A and B are shown apart, each in its own frame.
Chain A
């Protein structure tokens, strides 16, 4: 079956620290992988995506590389800001009709 496993939070970092949020997946075929971000009281927004092995998605200083050999899609940012405080979700889809989400990782960045 299809599933996504994320590192559990919450994660608390100081401003300008390095961020890694781990995501591994189980899927048949060749899924597309996504990171979404959810700010308090809002819906999910796409942060970045990768649609084939070895692709790197990037946006707003965040990066993630689609690693088929390790079935991983870890999210990284070199220097976090207070405004990055949010919940981050890793997700995959095989067919485009069903998306599978991880449980979310809450990030708090303190000044």
Chain B
């Protein structure tokens, strides 16, 4: 049972480079989301999606793009990386509907921007 799978686990970029963090889930969850985790700040929501073709911004969306073409996949794109985007990124999914279902997290992707 894979759950939520993120790749890559580690990445080093230079300022201005672009990259995509991949996220896939096999639980048939309609809701998927991306968070970043920074020391002393907890987790902050970047973007989320409630189903294929539907995305919305979270608390810190600037500098990131997302799309949702399938239920299983929700990639996060950095078009021009900046040192401020150095962080640990987590993808999470949940069952849609209501507010009682918990988030299921991937293992994280640690990104360093030089």
Contact = CB atoms under 8 A, between A and B. Distances in A.
Given A43-B105, A43-B106, A97-B48, A103 B100 contact: no
B107 A96 contact: no
Contacts of B42: 4, 89, 101-104
Give the interface size bracket for B toward A.
Answer: 20 to 34
Interface in A54-111: 89, 91, 93-99, 101-104
A103 B48 contact: no
Contact of A96 (B40, B98, B104): B98
B70 interface: no
Given A89-B43, A103-B40, A44 B90 contact: yes
A95 B96 CA distance: 10
B50 interface: yes
A11 to B, nearest CB: 15
Given A31-B99, A94-B99, A99 B45 contact: yes
Contact of A97 (B4, B35, B56, B100): B56
Given A43-B90, A89-B42, A103-B42, A34 B50 contact: no
Contacts of A45: 105
4 closest pairs, A vs B, by CB?
A43-B105, A96-B99, A101-B42, A101-B43
Interface of B: 4, 31, 33, 35, 40-45, 48, 50, 56, 58-59, 90, 92, 94, 96-108
Interface of A: 4, 31-32, 34, 36, 41-46, 49, 51, 89, 91, 93-99, 101-104
Given A43-B105, A94-B99, 18 more contacts: A4-B42, A36-B103, A43-B4, A44-B92, A46-B103, A89-B43, A91-B43, A93-B99, A96-B99, A96-B100, A97-B31, A97-B48, A98-B59, A99-B45, A101-B42, A101-B43, A102-B42, A103-B42
